[in-house]
Structure 1
Amino acid sequence: MLVLPALTGLLLGIAGCGTVRVPAGPAASDPLCAEIVLGAPHEMLGQPRAETSSQGTVAWGSGDDTVVLRCGVAPPGPTTDACTRLGDTDGIQVDWIVREQDGIVLLTTYGREPAIDISVPRAVAPDQPSAAAMDMGRLIDATIPATDHCVGPGDVE
């Protein structure tokens, strides 16, 4: 089972000069994380991109309505948490472990290393917090190859 970080701890707030304080993942210095950060969109779920305090991180918005991406988090192992494959019409597919706590949805890539997590406050996307993961899918798929996929009871003999 995956150890849940304190989801609310991911959104540490705003430091001086509008910088969003975000803890870096243990592998945030991976060169693939630099590609993810550089390729991340300037806007996410209607929120403008904000400066962050740590390598391998991106944020959009401010205060309690901040969407945060962290690249280089610990890759999740097998889990009983919900795991879903999000794809687009071009066949791009990325598997995500999905958890929710205290009004924040945390999506973590499954089967990719370095792993990425995206925290989305329900207040920002009450109906579809997975839209942030969908927006990042093409960049993640092009940058970090999949080595494993989600499986469910119907996938196992």
Structure 2
Amino acid sequence: MPPGPAAADPACADVIVGAPEELLGLPRQETTSQGTLAWGTGDGAVVLRCGVAPPPPTTEHCATLEDTSGTQIDWIVREDESGYVRFTTYGREPAIDLTVPRASAPDQPSAAALDLGQLVGAIPATAHCVGAGDL
């Protein structure tokens, strides 16, 4: 997996070092690209890439996910026809991509993003999702 353009950002090093040993019941796997991690192997692996290009304002689905501790993270959520759900942080730099195969979390792929809320929340938010009701 290729590193993001800002993978060398010190905040990415903190994310990689602080990432859990297990996610969705899958063991953490080290990768050879800076700023990246995987849990599990092969097509069923959950993949994290830190330092990807931050998404600009968009009309794509942006969801605010709140974990049990109250940490809120805004994510652009995209699902493709091959069975992968990609979550990209919105309003945080460096940005993080999290790719979750539906096979690893068929009922709730957002569980992976929720489980990483504290870790991702260490990167300060500078913008937030807004909807039509916020205008």
Do they superpose with TM above 0.5?
A: yes
1:103-122 equivalences under 5 Å are: 103-122=83-102
Structure 2 counterpart of 1:139: 119
Aligned partner (choices 39, 45, 50) of residue 66 of structure 1: 45
Q: Residues of 2 paired with 1:66 and 1:154: CA distance?
A: 36
Amino acid at match of 1:60: W
Match of 1:36, SS state, is helix
Deviation at 1:140, TM superposition (A): 1.1
2:72 maps to 1:93: yes
Residue 54 of structure 1 aligns to which amino acid in structure 2?
Answer: S
SS in 2 for 1:119: strand
Alignment of 1:2-151 (within 5 A): 22-101=1-80, 102-141=82-121, 143-151=122-130
% identity of equivalent residues: 68
> In the aligned structure 2, how far is the partner of 1:32 from the partner of 1:146?
13
Give the letter aligned to residue 98 of structure 2: I
Count of aligned positions = 134
Question: 2 CA distance for matches of 1:125 and 1:104?
Answer: 10
Higher Cα radius of gyration = 1
Whole-angstrom distance in 1 between the partners of 2:34 and 2:68: 32
- What SS is found at the alignment partner of 1:59? strand
Unpaired runs of 5+ residues, structure 1, are 1-21
Alpha-carbon separation, structure 1, partners of 2:119 and 2:46:
17
Scaled by the length of structure 1, the TM-score of the pair is: 0.84
Shift, 1:88, TM fit = 2.0
List structure 1 segments (4+ residues) > 6 angstroms apart after TM superposition: none
- In structure 2, stretches of 5+ residues that fail to align are none
